[in-house]
A = this chain, B = another copy of it.
Amino acid sequence: MEHDSILELLESVKTGAVTPEEALLQLKKQPFEDLGFAKIDHHRGLRHGVSEVIFGEGKTPEQIEGIVSAMAGRGQKNIMITRLSQDKADIVGKQHSLDYDPISRIGVCYRERAESPRGSIIVAAAGTSDLPVAEEAAVTAEVLGNKVDRLYDVGVAGLHRLLSYLDVIMSARVVIVAAGMEGALATVIGGLVACPVIAVPTSVGYGASFGGISALLTMLNSCAGNVSVVNIDNGFGAGYIASLINGG
């Protein structure tokens, strides 16, 4: 049960539309449920405004399905699973309504799309190899109810490509930048906009890129004051934080 719906419930109690006893039934007293291999956090929706998200990597399809079933059993919608391979998606999709995107590797069970997505989040990526991470960020933000604009293949070695989108960039509420190799795109965009920039280093590259360390250091040392950084390849985190900034 999420933040907004609980507030709505309390308002109904205030107006008398719902009795305190009925409200009590709807509130989950038990903050988590123990499945043996995992504890599902039902209090999280209240605390975070966003329900728990399942990190699919390293879990068996059976474990994922078990968690989804427990959440769906409580009426949870928009159950998001990240790092979900096609194979696992096929299995989970047999038991549950699943909306799966193979590029971002995100699956959403019992999806309910927001009617009017909030504000504007831009996701920019330096090269085509950065797309999976960029899409993980973009799809995450969309699932959480945000409007997302994508600017792909705008690396700084061909500056005019980026500059041709100046209007779009400057109107953003928050920008996510996914870049590997030297990761300079975050700083260049950071210097162009007056909003927060979430930088995601990607593990794309070879040689001295060291699996994303080079891009990570570049972003941490950014001369643009509005850049903060998440873990290498952590597209989900970037999308989630951008959504929070955008009012999610």
Complex CA gap A217/B219 in Å reads 12
Instruction: List B contacts of A28 (CB < 8 A).
Output: 46-47, 166, 170
Instruction: Say yes or no: is A203 at the interface (Cβ < 8 Å to chain B).
Output: yes
Q: Is the CB of B153 within 8 A of A25?
A: no
Known: A187-B184, A194-B50. A44 touches B158 (CB 8 A): yes
Q: Is the CB of B47 within 8 A of A218?
A: no
* Total A residues in contact with B, Cβ cutoff 8 Å: 114
Q: Is the CB of B171 within 8 A of A184?
A: no
Q: Is the CB of A29 within 8 A of B166?
A: yes
Q: List 20 A-B contacts (CB under 8 A).
A: A10-B24, A13-B14, A25-B167, A27-B27, A31-B31, A40-B163, A43-B170, A47-B194, A48-B193, A50-B194, A63-B128, A155-B223, A157-B224, A181-B222, A182-B217, A217-B217, A220-B231, A227-B237, A228-B229, A228-B241
Chain A interface residues toward B at CB < 8 A? 3, 6-7, 10-11, 13-14, 16, 19-21, 23-25, 27-33, 35-41, 43-44, 46-50, 53, 57-59, 63, 126-129, 131, 152-161, 163-164, 166-167, 170-171, 181-184, 187-188, 190-196, 198, 201, 203-210, 212-234, 236-238, 240-241, 244-245
